[in-house]
Chain A
Amino acid sequence: MSEARGRRRDGLALSRALPDRSLLAMVAAMSLLASLTYAGAVGARALSSRWAAGAANLVTVQVPDPEKLPADTVSGSAASVSKATAHGDGASSASSALPASQVEKQSGGQNAAKPDMTRAAAIEAVLQASPDTQLVHRLNASEIDKLLAPWLGAAGASALPLPAVIEVHLFHSAKLSADTIASIAKIAPGSLIERNDAWRVRLLDIARSLLACAALAILLVGAIGAAVIAMATRLGLGARRESIEILHGLGAVDGYVASRFARRVAGLSLAGGMAGTLLALPPLAGIARLMAPLSGGGALNFGSGETGFSIAETMTALTTLWGETPPALLWGLGVVPFAAAFIGWITAQVMVRVWLRRLP
């Protein structure tokens, strides 16, 4: 303790030599940028994961001539099924025709369909009986009208012979079994099964790109912060040149002078980092509020989710931020001030030691 007091009375007077306020403000600004960038990356990752998971587990089955009786009960002829995988710009079909005898062998879930059912109802029953499905929902007429409204207008859909559309939510990482697909083909030949794996891959690619951009941005912010700290340290060295030369002449080792500067700069950087991180919290809470409807509730669901800000809701979001924000984001935000302090410490150490090299 007394030794530390003694160190402070060495004439360097760094509290007056370094541009304290401007350094603190610059580090705070850099930390604010780093915090927002990091939060953006974490948010993008969380959203893309959520969407990718949703896309991966959703299968759409289109049943042509849905109100007819199942094909096997009408003709008993060969059945075919078209499987398609969405690629963003439409579905490409890969039809495979199976001999009736083979379909008969593969068919396992067909027992769920009763003889008097329509094709759509029979397929719905088969899907509901499958152990892989979590939820089966056949779109009703108004839902299909809404789906087609952008292309056909409000009243245009009813006149067309539309297929039935059945949404199937699978359990996590589950797939429709070959038996179920074969049953669908047997009940309604020409049915289209649309999976969304490609969307998932694309969303994950987008998430990875965003993360890479965020990492680059954080690196740049760190580098700019280090440059700012280096300039501030040089200013301090210039202001205390004579004092440093006196201490050097009295036998002060390089490490002593470098540590004095590094401690001061690290302290200022820590304070600036904390200020920047705290300043990032209100906008983060606001963004979290806006993201609530997109995230489907849960971790980032704050307030009503409606657009527009109110101080009360933002404050509520702030107070619940700690408890409901993903741990990765909290850890990251917690690390920002210490990262700023470390960058300050190491930059000052290097700058001072290099500067001292001019003295023998």
Chain B
Amino acid sequence: MIRLSNVTWRYGSPTRRVAGGRSADPATALSGVTFSVPQGGFRWLLGPSGAGKSSLLRLLHLEALPQSGELEILGTHVGVDVKRATLARLRQRVGMVHQDFRLMPTLSISDNVALPLRLERRDEAAVADEVAAILRWVGLSERSGALPAELSGGEQQRAAIARAVIARPGVVLADEPTNALEESQSSRIVGMLREVSALGATVIVATHNDALVRRFPAPALRLERGRLTTDESSTP
């Protein structure tokens, strides 16, 4: 479960101001954002470039902390006073898929996918079984020994999804995961994320691909200039 209440987040110093600017401070990435997503819910996160989609996902992935308002992820209240160890533990339960994949270039696909389990110090035999199963699910069993550079964009994104979900996180976030991918690959990626949601994880996918949103209808959160303008959470 994710819950935000009147969350504000600014880049850099919170006192920064631009004289004679527009109504919203350019340093303010998110302003007064309030919404919640239940466990197992799937949400599209929509909005034009610079609307604050990536900033919101950074907050939800705990790469930044809100300067005001309340943020609760998987039952844990996240504020500026939260301990670093708590944040690290919480991050292990939040899977993240980036548009640029962020795979370790020196590691094979199987080692990349195994990273979250190894950070949890799981037994290597169990890690091998889990990796084999998840690579079968994303269709990369035969490429397990390859380096990321040897894979296509779609394959790398599937590997990134495998890494994001292998530890069975409670929340999965995806930032433009189908960017620069072919239509068929995009559909396959979103199909996998819907499966993850159906298995009980809360999933939020940021995109500006309207065709994809129409193909996979789901409630949407729409951001404009850092403010939440639409929340279709009431939509079944």
Contact = CB atoms under 8 A, between A and B. Distances in A.
Name the interface size band of chain B. Answer: 20 to 34
8 contacts: A10-B115, A10-B118, A11-B106, A248-B88, A249-B102, A250-B92, A251-B92, A254-B84
B104 to A, nearest CB: 3
Nearest to A3: B121
B104 A243 contact: yes
B116 interface: yes
Name the interface size band of chain A. Answer: 20 to 34
B214 interface: no
Interface in A1-52: 2-3, 5-7, 9-11, 13
B107 A360 contact: no
Contacts of A9: 107, 111, 114, 118
Contacts of A249: 61, 63, 91, 96, 102
Contacts of B93: 251
B64 A250 contact: no
A149 interface: no
B89 interface: yes
B124 interface: yes
Given A10-B115, A11-B104, 15 more contacts: A3-B123, A9-B111, A9-B114, A13-B106, A246-B102, A246-B104, A247-B115, A248-B91, A249-B91, A249-B102, A250-B163, A251-B91, A251-B93, A253-B84, A360-B62
Contacts of A251: 88-93, 116, 119-120
Interface in A58-87: none
Interface string B63-105: 1110000000000000000001101111111001000001011
Contacts of A360: 62-65, 84, 87
Interface in B113-162: 114-116, 118-121, 123-125, 127
A256 interface: yes
Nearest to A9: B111
B73 to A, nearest CB: 13
A11 B61 CA distance: 21
Contacts of A13: 106
B149 to A, nearest CB: 14
